[in-house]
Amino acid sequence: MIILNSLILLVGFVVLIKGADWFVDGSSAMAKMFHVPGVIIGLTIVALGTSAPELAVSTLAAVQGSNEIAISNVVGSNIFNLLCVLGVCALIHPVPVDPGITKRDFPITIGITALVLIGTSFKTLLSGTWVRAAMDESVGVVGRPISFVLLILFIFYIVYLIVDAKKHPAEEDDILAQPLWKSVLMIIVGITFIVAGGQAVVYAAKEIARTFGMTETLIGLTIVAVGTSLPELVTSIVAAKKGETGMAVGNVVGSNIFNMMFILGVSSMIHPVAVNAASLWDMLILTVISIIVYVFSLTRRTIDRKEGLVMLSIYIGDMVFAILR
């Protein structure tokens, strides 16, 4: 049975990633046909497509009542993006950091993570039992009020990026023209694959967790989070090998903002997501990690190989902590 569930999990990841790829290609080609600026495509369609695996898994998990997977997938993906994706890129080639990222996007991702952490544990904080709550089954919830705030902030963030991008236009990437029917077909098939792959991942992850006696939080934080972040990892490694690491930090930080604001916002708007003590600690760890990587990015405006090694070491330590707790 474990072999079958592992196979379902693997196939689910492949279907998710391929579906997201087709969705991005089809949507981008269609947008080009209607003369939508490339920057807007990148900030909306492509951003949604690359985060579609996380969106599908977290939303479906929330609907099915698997709250631990819904929240730990987002938090785990963000930790993996910061420490592993950037860490591996830095080991291959030092990663330069754009000043705009340190002034705008990094503070936003730290602030949003802290906002969700405080918002979900507000009652526990008021009662003064936050540390003692580490043994409790549930200590908070990402309810609709929090999700509403996250989605409103996300809309303002996207609008600001689009307005700012129009003030500082860049050359648009060429996208090969293709028939309208092909673009529509790619979008439909892509969405179908995303939903089907997401369902397969959630089902297999829950079954594997039960088989090995693992918590859904742990499997969401590790296997599911890594699997849904594979597109970012593969893309960043290929770019780093070519020496094109300039946008690595921006892509990771942007993805983390998208995950925390949009994906968690949508998931909790559809169905409030209960947060257990383990996930609360993981959000605290994510906040601290975000600050550490932010400090690294401020030093000489570059994340070098030594810092990349430190980041990977922190990730290994965090995974050991997650497994042993």
State the CATH number of the domain containing residue 99.
1.20.1420.30
**Average pLDDT in the 67-95 region?**
85
- Model confidence band, residue 246 (pLDDT cutoffs 50, 70, 90): low
Average pLDDT over residues 249-255: 76
User: Which residue range forms the structural domain that includes residue 170?
Assistant: 2-324
Q: How confident is the model at residue 117 (pLDDT cuts 50, 70, 90)?
A: confident
User: Are the C-beta atoms of residues 98 and 252 closer than 8 Å to each other?
Assistant: no
Interval 154-206: pLDDT, tens: 999 888 877 776 676 555 555 456 787 888 888 888 878 877 887 787 778 77
Q: What is the mean pLDDT of residues 91-115?
A: 87
C-alpha 73/C-alpha 54 separation (Å) is 7
* 216 vs 176, higher pLDDT: 216
Whether residue 120 has pLDDT greater than 70: yes
Highest averaged pLDDT of the listed ranges 62-76, 165-179, 306-320: 306-320
Q: Which two tokens stand for residue 218?
A: 């742990």
8-state DSSP, 93: S
Tell me how far CA of residue 136 lies from CA of 79, 119, 142, 148, in angstroms.
23, 18, 17, 27
Number of domains in the chain: 1
pTM equals 0.76
Q: What is the pLDDT of residue 139?
A: 62
Cα separation, 209 vs 157, in Å, equals 36
What local confidence, expressed as pLDDT, does residue 136 receive?
46
Q: How confident is the model at residue 306 (pLDDT cuts 50, 70, 90)?
A: very high
202 closest CA partner among 313, 320, 59 = 59
* 172 or 67, higher pLDDT: 67
Backbone angles phi, psi at 14, to 5 degrees: -60, -45
**Distance of alpha carbon 259 from alpha carbon 78, whole angstroms:** 7
